[in-house]
């Protein structure tokens, strides 16, 4: 089952925990499968969104997330962003309400899975996560992180988990043993192990996949988008390929004042 098709169940589960679930999560319930707990301050740019998705702080007043996590482009004050902590219940957490959502033009549920959420006021003093503008970093080993489910069908998590996953080529990901041609090569990038066991999951949707660049700084290369189940063999995670949309994301960010 597609991870984002089990969104309603994830929302209800998260609601009972007092944590808003992940609308439109692209992996079966909400958390990094096979991960370990992140250290406080390790990934300061990580954002938890109240609809149950993840995101990354693109600029002090913008969060980059997935299009399937949000509704249409326009004014929106219903989303709460939580950041600055590993523990979502921490008293030192930072929160901001949204005031506008920009969803990728032409998004219809396949490809183009990115969106920007503008915050009501900037978050100063917290590191942002730059996006890659080149394909140079679209291979190798990536880091994933989120508050999604730690097992397929599991519950949303209180603590941020992290893991590493290897790049999977478009040809391999589109092979009959994996996604059999479902991957949009220009728009999407795959990452995961043939044997499964490590993956993002529903509730991690919209969160970043990132790696170190030539200057040893974090750079975002993917956005958690979808997958069949969580951490299944031959079913790697599918991520929005940020390098392909970098100029469109930057232009939208500029238009939003970010």
Distance of CA 17 to the CA centre of its chain: 21
Asked if 68 is an active-site residue, the reply is yes
Who contacts 125 (Cβ-Cβ below 8 Å, separation ≥6)? none
Listed residue (243, 220, 224) closest to 27, CA to CA = 224
Q: Which member of 50, 59, 205, 243 is catalytic? A: 205
Burial (CB count <10 Å: 0-12, 13-18, 19+), residue 80: middle
**Among 27, 50, 59, 113, the one annotated catalytic:** 113
Distance CA 176, CA 178 (A): 5
Burial class (CB in 10 A: 0-12, 13-18, 19+), 209: buried
Both tokens of 145, joined, read: 């992180």
Catalytic residue among 29, 68, 98, 155: 68
The C-alpha angle 51, 55, 60, rounded to 5 degrees, equals: 115
Angle at 61 (CA atoms; ends 89, 165), nearest 5 degrees:
65
Helix, coil or strand: residue 170: helix
Q: Is 27 an active-site residue? A: no
Closest CA to 213 of 127, 115, 138, 160: 138
Active site residues: 68, 113, 205
């Amino acid at each position: 089952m597609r991870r984002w098709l089990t969104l309603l169940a994830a929302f209800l589960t998260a609601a009972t925990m007092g944590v808003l679930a992940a609308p439109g999560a692209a992996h079966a319930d909400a958390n990094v499968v096979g991960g370990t707990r992140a250290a406080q301050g390790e990934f300061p740019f990580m954002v938890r969104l109240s609809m149950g998705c993840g995101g990354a702080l693109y600029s002090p007043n913008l969060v980059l997330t997935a299009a399937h996590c949000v509704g249409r482009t326009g004014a929106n004050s219903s989303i709460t962003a939580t950041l600055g902590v590993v523990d979502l219940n921490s008293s030192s957490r930072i929160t901001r309400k949204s005031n506008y959502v920009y969803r990728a033009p032409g998004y219809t549920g396949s490809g183009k899975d990115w969106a920007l959420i503008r915050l009501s006021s900037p978050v100063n003093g917290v590191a942002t996560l730059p996006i890659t503008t080149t394909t140079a970093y679209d291979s190798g080993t990536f880091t994933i992180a989120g508050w999604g489910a730690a097992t397929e069908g599991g519950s949303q998590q209180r603590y941020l988990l992290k893991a590493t996953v290897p790049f999977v080529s478009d040809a391999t990901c589109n092979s009959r043993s994996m996604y059999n041609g479902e991957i949009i090569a220009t728009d999407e990038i795959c990452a995961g192990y043939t044997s499964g066991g490590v993956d993002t999951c529903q509730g991690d949707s919209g969160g970043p996949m990132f790696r170190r660049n030539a200057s040893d700084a974090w750079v975002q290369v993917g956005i958690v988008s979808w997958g069949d189940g969580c951490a299944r063999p031959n079913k790697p995670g599918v991520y929005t390929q940020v390098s392909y949309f970098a100029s469109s994301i930057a232009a939208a960010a500029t238009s939003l004042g970010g």
